[in-house]
Structure 1
Amino acid sequence: MPLFAYVGRDGKGGQVKGQQEAATMDAVASTLMGRGITPVAINPASDVKEQVPLEVRFQRLMGSSGVSVEELIILCRQMYTITKAGIPLVRGVRGLAESIKHYVLQKTLFEIADRLEAGMELSVSMRYHTDVFSSLFISMVRVGENSGRLDSVFLQMAEYLERELDTARRIKSALRYPSFVLIALAVAMVVINIFVIPAFANMFSRFDAELPLPTKILIGVSDTFVNYWPHMLIVVAVSVGLWWRYMKTDNGQRFWGETKIRLPIIGDIINRASLARYARSFSLMSSSGVPLPTALALCAESIDNRFLMEKILGMKSGVERGESLIRTHTASKMFTPLVLQMVSVGEESGQVDELLKEVAEFYEREVDYDVSKLSDRIEPIILVIMAVFVMILALGIFLPMWEMYNIQK
């Protein structure tokens, strides 16, 4: 159906804008009048030039919806309150849209409200906005609609997103200090190679003396920085471009996904955080009555790791062939024996959702502990790197100065 943009006045005289799918303009006008809105202007949406804020244009250019996890959590909490209180969805969603200041989310909710008025279900309306709502989110809403438990689904999604956000914040907080130190060290290396070492090299060249090996290495690296920096910039830019392009391919995403979980120190934390997300998602879907193959497919999409995603999809294929959960989980080689035992018990007792919830909590406790100790494990490595850098710099600069001092004596 065609999409029309309208401008109208509500019962209090306030301006109301939005979009509506309908067969004709008259149908749009009738719908608006039925909602107590007096239409002022109705035009095909293609004829209306949308005034999009600059930050939204930038977000679209970067391929981002611009809707943060925090905003989705607040939305889930608000939708839980609306559905729990028995407020009609159309009125509730439209009321939320009018109170939200975020441009993209407000526009999304207005369009969802328009589709709800046209007779669509909430989950179907959300499928038009996959840049805002994930497949897991939409499927859970669909389950809530079919089971009459839409309020509990929104509450579960809010708690799920809050846990995901908390884990991500903990990891970022633990990596912030080491990241700043390494960046400062890299800047210091560039400054020293461009400005400091050339000054010492000019001084050493006045003396006809054999320079120590560390000094020769420092001067050679400095000459490379000073004389070939345009070439180095080009090489770095081309390398970054090729890497970015490779990361867009399936092989690149698979390679990076496997590399991330094999990194020293943080790789194991990333792996367990991903498995906790899988177990939490699977428990949520299973307790809501989603079929196992569908639940596994949605859990695979919820994990931001191509390597692990393909393993979960392999488990889905095994379940579709009639294999048991414990057999597919064992074949994936993703889980510890303790977790496999819990999955086996859950499958035998018919309480897979409860046992997977325990698995998720087990992984989350381990991740929380490791993240709290992450800084303590990284700081010694940072100190060693800085000590090696200072030692090389000191030997390269002070060794020839000591030799010249001995010669003069």
Structure 2
Amino acid sequence: MASFAYTAKTSAGAIVTGKFDANDVDNVATFLRNKGLFPMDIKEVSSVKKGNTLKSRKKIASNDFAIFCRQFYTMINAGVSVVGSLDLLRRQTENPRLAQLINDVYDDVQKGNSLSEALNLHSDTLPIILISMIEVGEVSGTLDLVLDRLALHFVKENRIRQKIKTAMMYPMIIGCIAVAVVIFMLAFVVPKFMSMFSSMGTGLPLPTKILLGISHTVTNIWFLIGAASFIAVSIYLFSKFRKSIKGRLIISTIILKTPKVGKNYRKILASRFARALSLLLETGVPLIQALEVVDKVVNNQIVSDGLVKVREEIKRGSNLASPLEGIGIFPVMVTQMISIGEEAGSLDDIVGKVADFYDEELDTSISQLISLIEPVMILVLALVVGFIVISMIMPVFGMYKNLG
């Protein structure tokens, strides 16, 4: 966290200066644009240390945000002030990381910051849509309505994630069992047969030689150390690669081109895009500003690059549907429904229906995908175990044949 001095221009041409605490220059620029200002110069002037920085960078589940927004909405709707609501929330929130974050926000609001400004200081932890929507609610005087919409948004987001986790649970269990069975057989069962095979005095079949070589390698301590080191380094390098722009682009491209998986991934992106856009438009956020927020919510590099072009086209007078179709990511139904919504003047409502449709589609599609993965994993497990068993039996049959 650092403090930035900025110089910006209002729509009337007046020059505005000030300071703002944020993680980087982009956060400051986003904050200024959301205020209707045009950034001219942003410079870091000092670091800001907070005692909970390490804790606040840990992820908080969507369900926790849903509960937070629902409780916040209930208190604001009942007439409790923002400061009073935050005071109650920090005391009763069960998630310790979220409770600590609310406590910091409470302290910042007590110092004179607005709620959105205090939340923006934790932009590395909080969803961008939460910060942007609350700022809209403060400006428009509809904070309770915004919090109610946000609670529903996070509930649906959490529901999709739980569907994916639940659907993947069975294949993951099968995969872990398969790996455990193979390692057990290679490390404990196959070595029992080694001495018998070596004393036979006859040539071993090729499958048996391969199996013995794999077993000897797996039980070698230096191989285990080398494999563990390789896996650790690979995970570290992949995490760094995944966070880079090029890495995100390559990974997204691979996922989208993978049969079956890519189709479901497109539906997830379509659902997330439509739900976030509908939520923002419902509360009166301008389309271009809404697309900037949606860009961060979708969190996909291909979509992000495409939305930059979409915003440029809209600024030139284009509608939303045509340039959105040019991205080539979303299903055709998304752009068609958006086109209908633009013509009918009910874009927010139509986009909301699109999100609901793809939420239901995802449930069916994920179930179908898992129904294809399960038999494939069982088949692979059967082939591996079968190879091990046959490799151990073949020398025995050869020995009986020689005796005969």
Letter aligned with residue 184 of structure 2: V
Conserved? CA contact 2:266–2:330, under 8 Å: no
Conserved? CA contact 2:274–2:352, under 8 Å: yes
Identify which range, 348-357 or 116-125, moves more after superposition: 116-125
Conserved? CA contact 2:266–2:329, under 8 Å: no
Is 1:209 the counterpart of 2:202 in the alignment?
yes
Letter aligned with residue 269 of structure 2: S
Letter aligned with residue 367 of structure 1: L
Identify which range, 272-281 or 364-373, moves more after superposition: 364-373
- In structure 2, what is the Cα distance between the partners aligned to 1:271 and 1:242? 27
- 1:101 to partner: Cα distance: 4.4
Is 1:270 the counterpart of 2:258 in the alignment?
no
Is 1:197 the counterpart of 2:173 in the alignment?
no
- 1:287 to partner: Cα distance: 1.8
Specify the alignment match of 2:90 in structure 1: 97
Equivalent residues in 2 for 1:30-179 (5 A)? 59=55, 63-65=57-59, 67-179=60-172
Equivalent residues in 2 for 1:357-396 (5 A)? 357-396=352-391
Structure 1 residues 317, 190: CA separation in 2 closer, same or farther (over 3 Å shift)? farther
- In structure 2, what is the Cα distance between the partners aligned to 1:118 and 1:239? 46
Conserved? CA contact 1:260–1:267, under 8 Å: yes
1:371-405 Cα shifts (integer Å, max 9, x gaps):
33443222211221112112211221111211111
Given candidates 205, 209, 234, the residue that maps to 2:229 is 234
Structure 1 residues 105, 240: CA separation in 2 closer, same or farther (over 3 Å shift)? closer
- 1:234 to partner: Cα distance: 2.9
1:189-236 Cα shifts (integer Å, max 9, x gaps):
222222222322321121232322221221222232234333333333
Runs of at least 4 residues off by over 4 Å? none
Conserved? CA contact 1:255–1:307, under 8 Å: no
- In structure 2, what is the Cα distance between the partners aligned to 1:231 and 1:101? 42
- 1:49 to partner: Cα distance: 11
Identify which range, 322-331 or 194-203, moves more after superposition: 194-203
Letter aligned with residue 382 of structure 2: A
Specify the alignment match of 1:338 in structure 2: 333
- In structure 1, what is the Cα distance between the partners aligned to 2:99 and 2:197? 67
Given candidates 376, 398, 406, the residue that maps to 2:401 is 406
Conserved? CA contact 2:190–2:215, under 8 Å: yes
- In structure 2, what is the Cα distance between the partners aligned to 1:278 and 1:393? 48
Letter aligned with residue 152 of structure 1: L
Q: Provide TM-score, normalisation by structure 2.
A: 0.81
- In structure 2, what is the Cα distance between the partners aligned to 1:49 and 1:291? 34
Aligned positions, number = 355
Letter aligned with residue 296 of structure 1: L
Percent identity at matched positions? 29
1:118-140 Cα shifts (integer Å, max 9, x gaps):
44322122111223422211111
Specify the alignment match of 1:304 in structure 2: 299
- In structure 1, what is the Cα distance between the partners aligned to 2:69 and 2:50? 31
- In structure 2, what is the Cα distance between the partners aligned to 1:97 and 1:300? 30
Q: Provide TM-score, normalisation by structure 1.
A: 0.80
- In structure 1, what is the Cα distance between the partners aligned to 2:126 and 2:229? 39
Letter aligned with residue 355 of structure 2: A
Structure 1 residues 272, 399: CA separation in 2 closer, same or farther (over 3 Å shift)? same
Higher Cα Rg, which structure: 1
- In structure 2, what is the Cα distance between the partners aligned to 1:85 and 1:354? 28
1:11-49 Cα shifts (integer Å, max 9, x gaps):
xxxxxxxxxxxxxxxxxxxxxxxxxxxxxxxxxxxxx99
Letter aligned with residue 64 of structure 1: K
Specify the alignment match of 1:22 in structure 2: none
Structure 1 residues 364, 211: CA separation in 2 closer, same or farther (over 3 Å shift)? same
Residue segments in structure 2 that go unaligned for 5+ positions in a row: 1-48
- In structure 1, what is the Cα distance between the partners aligned to 2:328 and 2:320? 13
- In structure 1, what is the Cα distance between the partners aligned to 2:278 and 2:116? 20
Letter aligned with residue 313 of structure 1: V
Given candidates 382, 392, 399, the residue that maps to 1:397 is 392
Is 1:183 the counterpart of 2:176 in the alignment?
yes
1:140-195 Cα shifts (integer Å, max 9, x gaps):
11111222221111111111100110110111111111111112211222222222
Letter aligned with residue 328 of structure 1: P
Specify the alignment match of 2:30 in structure 1: none
Structure 1 residues 252, 94: CA separation in 2 closer, same or farther (over 3 Å shift)? same
SS at match of 2:285: coil
Structure 1 residues 397, 302: CA separation in 2 closer, same or farther (over 3 Å shift)? same
- 1:264 to partner: Cα distance: 4.1
- In structure 2, what is the Cα distance between the partners aligned to 1:381 and 1:206? 38
